[in-house]
Structure 1
Amino acid sequence: MGESARQLAVPLDEVLDAELVEDDGPAGTELVRTGKDRHLSPGTVAAIAASVPDSTRRAYGADREAFTAWCAEEDRTPLPATAETMAEYVRHLTVTPRPRTGRPAAPSTIERAMSAVTTWHEDEGKPRPSMRGARAVLNAYKDRLARSSDPAATARQATPAQPQQLRAMLAGVDRATLAGKRNAALVLVGFATAARVSELVAANRVDVVEAEHGWDVHLYRGKVRKHTTTALLYGTDPATCPVRALRAYLEALTAAGRTEGPVFLRVDRWDRLAPPLTRHGRPIGDPAGRLTAEAAADVVERLAVAAGLAGAWSGHSLRRGFATAARAAGHDPLEISRQGGWADGSRVLARYMADVDRVKNSPLVGIGL
C-alpha cells in the first residue's frame, strides 16, 4: 500500500458498511492475484480519506505521533507493538500530566489513543496487539478516579440549553444589529432542528424554504449520512420563536445584498458582513464568508457566559437541550429522533432522554412515600 494510503488513519469499520470476505475459489484451487489486486488508485485513496471527519483524522494522527515518540524514548517498537508495550503506554498516560491541563489524560482520551494505535496496525497490515493488559490498567485507573470522586471519572458532556436557558442567553442580544439577528437565529434554529453546529453552518439559502407552518430546513446529517427536512414552527414566545428569528435575519441579509450562498455568515463587531480574514498575510476562511463550526460553537458559549449561566457550554448544548426539553414535554422518542436526525436506536439520544426519564418515570413516583 502506498504512503498516501498508510497515512489515512481510517479504521475499516468507519469506512465499510459490510464485511469484505476473501473468495478462495473452489476447494483445492489456489487463488492467483495480479499486482493490482492490492493497489489503491489516488482517487480511491482520496475518497476513503474524505469519508472520515477531519477532526477524527487529526486526533488519530496526533495520538499515533505521541505513541511513536514515547516508544522512541522508551526504546520500544511502535509497530507492531507488543501487549506489554501497550500496557506500559496506557499506564504512562494515566500518570503523566498533560501540558495543556497539568493532569493525566481522561479515560475517554486514553480510549481514543488505544483505538488509534490498534487501528494503525490494521492499516499497516500488522496483527493487532493484545489489549488485555492495557484494558486492565485503564479499568484500574477508572476505579481510582471514581473512588476519589475525581471529575475526570465521568465523561464531560455539554450542558443542555433548554428554553429557560435560551431566553437568558438571548436577553442580552441586540437584535437591532446584523450580528444580533444572526446569533439569535443560529441559537434558535440550531435548537429547533437539533443540529450539530457543523450541519447548521453547512446550510445554504436554498436549504431554507418558507412554508405555511413557518420554515422547512433541509440539512445533511453527517453522522448518519442522510438529508432530513425539519419543520420549524412558530413559538409561543416571540423572543424564542425560531421562525421569527430566522425571518428577521434572512431579511437583513437580503437587504445587505446577500440572497444566496451560506445562511450563517461571518459578521464583525462593526456589522460588516463576511469581512476578509488573513493569517500571515494570506487569506483564510471560506471566501463566501461561511461561519465555521468552531465559530458557531463559540457564539453559544459566549452567550451562555454573558448570561451568567454555569455549566459546560458548547455548540452541542443546543442539540442536547432539544432532546432533553422534548422528552420532558412528553414527546415520543421516535419523533425526537426524526427531528434531530439521530440514528435509529441511538445510545447517545437514549442517554439524553434518560436524564429526564430517571425522574419522570422513577419507580418512586406514586408509591406513597
Structure 2
Amino acid sequence: MGKTQFAIEYAYRYEFDYEWCVRPRLAVGTRHRRMGDAATRAALEHIDHQAVRTVADGRPKSTRDAYTQDWASWGKFCNDAGVPLLAITPGTLVMFVEWLWAQPGGRKGTCTAPSTIDRRISGAVVSARAEHGVRLEDGVARLARNRLKQLVKEMEEQGETRGRGQAPPLLVEHLVKISAACPDNLMGLRDRALVLMHFAVAGREHELAFNRVRDYAETPGGIQADLRVSKVRPRVIPVPYGSRPSICPVRAWQAWKEAADLTDTDGYAWRRLHNRWHTVMDSGLQPESIGDIVTRAGERAGIETRFTGHSPRRGLATSSRLKGHDQIVIAKQGGWAPHSKVLAGYLEVVDQWEDNALLGVL
C-alpha cells in the first residue's frame, strides 16, 4: 500500500480530514516544528483517542459489558459525592473505594466484595482512558488499592466475610463421582464430556462456550483442543487419553459427539437440549449455562461442596500440582501468565503441606 493510499484509509478509519494526513507540513523534516501547533496537537489527540477506541471495541463482549457496569457505578458515585464525572484522581478513587465499601452486594443482605471493588477501580480507569480520552498518570489507582487492602484487613480482624470467596477446586475424586452419576442419555453424555473437558483444558466458561466441533481435533494421542476465543490467552491444548475410561475426556467427547450427531464441524461443540423433547439444538450454551451444568453435576453426584464454573479450572491446577508438575507447565495448560499471582495462590494451598517448616521438626 502506497503512502497516499495509507493516508486515505487511515483518515477514513479515524474519521479525520484526508488533506491533513497528507500535507507536506507533516514531513519528517518539519514535523517537530509543527507539534506545537494547537490544531496539530488536537488532531493527533483525536487520532490517538480513536485508536484506543478501536482496540477497546475489539475486546470480548463480556469484558466490554463488565466495564460498562463499572463505569455506571463510577457515575453513580460521582452523582452521590458531587464529583465531576471525568475527575479521576488518586483522591477521588479512594473516595470511590470507600463509597463502594458501603454499598450492598449482589446478594441480599451482603456488602460489595473486595474483588468486585478492585474490578470497579480498573473498569473506571480503563473506561476513562478508552471511552472518554482522559489522560491519566500511571499508577493513578495505587492509592485506592492500598486503601482497599486496609479495609480488607479491618474486615478480617472483625471476623466479617464478603462475597462468595474463591471457587472450590473440583478434584479427580469428584470427577469420578460426577461421571458415575451422569444418566445414560444425551444430557448425561453432554454433562460428563463437558465437565471432563472443562477440567482437562483448565478452561474458562466463555472459552468452552465459543468452541466449535472443529476445535476438538482428534489425533492418535488424543485431542488437540483449540481455545481460540479467550479474553486472556488463546491456546491449543493437547488432551491425551486418560488411564481410566470412566473419566477420560477424550472418550467422553467422542461419545457425546457421536450420540449428538455433531457432523457439522462449524457447529457448536456444546449444545443446548430442548426443554421438552431433550433433542440436540443448533444453538450453543452460554458461559453462564456451562457454570450451571458444573454446579448441577456436583449436586447430582451428592457432593456437598457447591462447585461453580471456575471449579474445574482451579481443580486442574490443584490436581496437577499434587502430581508434582511445575507452575510453568500448569500455567501453559490453563492460559495463566507464567508467574500468575492467582495461580500461585492456588498452588500454595498444595505446597503448604509439601514445603512446610515443621516437616521433620516435630
TM-score (norm. length: structure 1):
0.77
Task: Give the match for residue 268 of structure 1.
Answer: 274
Q: Number of residue pairs matched?
A: 330
In terms of mean alpha carbon deviation, does 134-143 or 186-195 score higher?
Answer: 134-143
* Paired residue secondary structure (2:272): coil
Residues 51 and 86 (structure 1 numbering): CA distance in 2 closer, same or farther, change over 3 Å?
same
1:163 CA drift (Å):
0.8
1:114 to 107, 115, 121: 121
2:173 to 155, 159, 164: 164
C-alpha separation in 1, matches of 2:143 and 2:250: 55
Residues 77 and 302 (structure 1 numbering): CA distance in 2 closer, same or farther, change over 3 Å?
same
Task: Give the match for residue 285 of structure 1.
Answer: none
1:338 and 2:335 are equivalent in the alignment: no
Deviations 1:157-194 (A, max 9, x none): 111111111122223211x2111111111011111122
Which amino acid counterpart does residue 201 of structure 2 have in structure 1? T
Task: Give the match for residue 144 of structure 1.
Answer: 154
C-alpha separation in 2, matches of 1:28 and 1:46: 26
Question: Equivalent pairs: percent with the same residue?
Answer: 32
Task: Give the match for residue 213 of structure 1.
Answer: 221
5+ residue gaps in structure 2? 1-13, 15-27
CA RMSD, 1 decimal: 3.3
C-alpha separation in 1, matches of 2:235 and 2:90: 43
Task: Give the match for residue 55 of structure 1.
Answer: 62
1:368 CA drift (Å):
4.0
* Paired residue secondary structure (2:33): coil
1:191 and 2:199 are equivalent in the alignment: yes
Which amino acid counterpart does residue 230 of structure 2 have in structure 1? G
1:145 CA drift (Å):
0.7
Deviations 1:180-233 (A, max 9, x none): 1111110111111222222222222222222222322222262444431x2222
1:103 and 2:105 are equivalent in the alignment: no
Residues 128 and 102 (structure 1 numbering): CA distance in 2 closer, same or farther, change over 3 Å?
farther
* Paired residue secondary structure (1:159): coil
In terms of mean alpha carbon deviation, does 52-61 or 352-361 score higher?
Answer: 52-61
C-alpha separation in 2, matches of 1:83 and 1:210: 52
1:290 to 284, 288, 294: 284
Task: Give the match for residue 18 of structure 2.
Answer: none
1:44 CA drift (Å):
5.9
5+ residue gaps in structure 1? 6-23, 275-287
Residues 273 and 29 (structure 1 numbering): CA distance in 2 closer, same or farther, change over 3 Å?
same
| Match runs of 1:233-248 below 5 Å | 233-248=240-255
8 Å CA contact retained: 2:213, 2:264: no
C-alpha separation in 1, matches of 2:204 and 2:254: 21
1:318 CA drift (Å):
0.9
C-alpha separation in 1, matches of 2:234 and 2:146: 38
8 Å CA contact retained: 1:161, 1:318: yes
Deviations 1:9-36 (A, max 9, x none): xxxxxxxxxxxxxxx9899834252875
C-alpha separation in 1, matches of 2:67 and 2:337: 24
Residues 294 and 40 (structure 1 numbering): CA distance in 2 closer, same or farther, change over 3 Å?
farther
Structure number with the higher helix fraction is 2
2:84 to 64, 72, 77: 77
1:307 and 2:316 are equivalent in the alignment: no
1:361 and 2:355 are equivalent in the alignment: yes
* Paired residue secondary structure (2:268): coil
C-alpha separation in 2, matches of 1:92 and 1:56: 23
Which amino acid counterpart does residue 29 of structure 1 have in structure 2? R
| Match runs of 1:313-352 below 5 Å | 313-352=307-346
* Paired residue secondary structure (1:194): coil
C-alpha separation in 2, matches of 1:87 and 1:101: 25
8 Å CA contact retained: 1:199, 1:219: yes
C-alpha separation in 2, matches of 1:81 and 1:340: 35
Deviations 1:73-94 (A, max 9, x none): 3433222256554443322222
Which amino acid counterpart does residue 176 of structure 2 have in structure 1? R
8 Å CA contact retained: 2:299, 2:306: no
C-alpha separation in 2, matches of 1:185 and 1:81: 47
Which amino acid counterpart does residue 200 of structure 1 have in structure 2? L
